[in-house]
Amino acid sequence: MKKTNVLKRILCICVIAVTLLALTSCNVGDMKDKDSAITVVKVKSNIEAGKQLTADMFETVKVPETAVPLNAIRDVRKIEGKYNTQAFYAGEYVFMGKLSESDPAKKNAIDYESNFVVTEKIDVKGDISDALQQLIDKNPGKTFEFPDGEYVLSKPVKVPADPAKAVSLRLSDFAVIKAADSWSSSEAMFCLSAGTIPEGSELVNTFYLTGGLFDGNGKATAISVENGENLLISGVDFKNVVTAIDVKGGIVDVENCDVIGAGSGSVALKVAGEYSTYTNVRVSNADAAVNVSGNNNLFKSVYATYENKANQLCAFVDTSSMGNNYDMCTSENFATGFSVGTGTSTYSGCYVKWESTSITKQVAFLSTGKFNSVIRTSRVDFDFANCGGAYLADTTEGGAGQILWPMIGGVSNMADTSYTSYLKGTAAVFR
């Protein structure tokens, strides 16, 4: 019996030992699997963004699999020939999200500094409409230079909205683009961003028109903008134009322009587009400086004066649904300074004045619906007694607008005090 018990104990010990040995072997195997080394690609030394990558810029190293981030590239052949969209630093792993098949610099830019002098390419005597259009169509990405001189157009010239076909236009100080006596088109002399941008285009539409003078000859709109974004119109003068700039769509920045309209029926800036800026624009001899139906535009330092002091016109007409922003804009000798739509526009530091006894009702701000805008620190100078003056002519009561710290000159000439219903703060009254 004793021998049997001893044998049973020995047998149990052997079974336990074998089991422990098996378990230990499994754990070791698992540890070996977890700590097994794999090959992965790392950056040898710092690489600036936008470089075409070659195999010698990288090294393949073996590291524990548990230390390798998910999706790190393991084969250098997947990198070779591509471009890095971000800077690479020595020792870091490489991921497909930081690589591009094409050069990012060329993908998002066109060389618009490649100048192209118009007078060296076409005969500029007489009507140049067709010749200039062909030149633009055949030379995308160029900057067209117009030296001093007169360039006559009998029909619209169109600059495509497609960034791959667009051009920039640079006019010298005494270059004049003039509508021919035979002009009959309702389109603009220069139609910028004309047509559509191809779906999926990755190019950035960045181009400009600067300098020179557009003479509408009392017949033509000078410039229209139809599409695109990042368009700059700078330092351009206009005279005898039906409309100086007609923004039908897209995003544009207009700055440092002088406009002399064609008189009755003319408008300096006609704006249906959104999110654009209009800065330092002086307007005369136009029925309106601004007629805007688009939203979220900024008009800054737009100065409008009218020599016909018997007019019943409005300098700034806003029919937008959401509103726009006006900063330090001035109306001089218009019957109404600002026509305020039902949107929530802001008017900051604006000025309305008259030097006329012929305007029988002088209105600074005319609300054509419920007044929902904000007028801030804006000054009005009424000119004479019995002028029917109104800081705000409110045609529909019950709006949520505000008038903050107005400045009113000639207050004794003011017949309409509707503004007090929206007054916040104290009005500065003088003269």
What is the rounded distance in angstroms from the CA atom of residue 94 to the CA atom of residue 166?
Answer: 37
Residue 66 three-state SS: helix
Longest CA–CA separation in the chain, Å: 138
What is the rounded distance in angstroms from the CA atom of residue 219 to the CA atom of residue 170?
Answer: 24
Backbone angles phi, psi at 172, to 5 degrees: -70, 170
Residue 12 three-state SS: helix
What is the rounded distance in angstroms from the CA atom of residue 322 to the CA atom of residue 296?
Answer: 7
Q: What's the confidence (pLDDT) of residue 385? A: 65
Q: What's the confidence (pLDDT) of residue 3? A: 46
**H or E element at residue 327:** strand 325-327
Q: What's the confidence (pLDDT) of residue 10? A: 56
Residue 287 confidence class, pLDDT cut points 50, 70, 90: very high
Backbone angles phi, psi at 356, to 5 degrees: -155, 140
Q: What's the confidence (pLDDT) of residue 27? A: 45
Query: Partners of 286 in the beta sheet?
Result: 263
Burial of 221 (0-12, 13-18, 19+ CB in 10 A): buried
What tens digit of pLDDT does each residue of 4-51 get?
Answer: 554 555 555 555 554 544 444 444 444 444 457 888 899 999 998 888
Residue 310 confidence class, pLDDT cut points 50, 70, 90: low
What is the rounded distance in angstroms from the CA atom of residue 37 to the CA atom of residue 167?
Answer: 56
Query: Partners of 208 in the beta sheet?
Result: 232
CA 393 to chain centre: 34
Average of per-residue pLDDT across 44-62: 91
Q: Name residue, tokens 């100086």.
A: 244
Is the pLDDT at 318 greater than 70, yes or no?
yes
Q: What's the confidence (pLDDT) of residue 34? A: 46
What is the rounded distance in angstroms from the CA atom of residue 329 to the CA atom of residue 350?
Answer: 5
Nearest CA to 283 among 307, 255, 303? 303
Q: What's the confidence (pLDDT) of residue 13? A: 58
Contacts of 165 (CB under 8 A, 6+ apart): 137, 140
Q: What's the confidence (pLDDT) of residue 86? A: 79
Is the pLDDT at 109 greater than 50, yes or no?
no
CB 303 within 8 A of CB 330: yes
Backbone angles phi, psi at 178, to 5 degrees: -120, 140
For the chain, give the percent of residues with pLDDT over 70: 85
Nearest CA to 297 among 331, 329, 320, 330? 320
What is the rounded distance in angstroms from the CA atom of residue 305 to the CA atom of residue 284?
Answer: 5
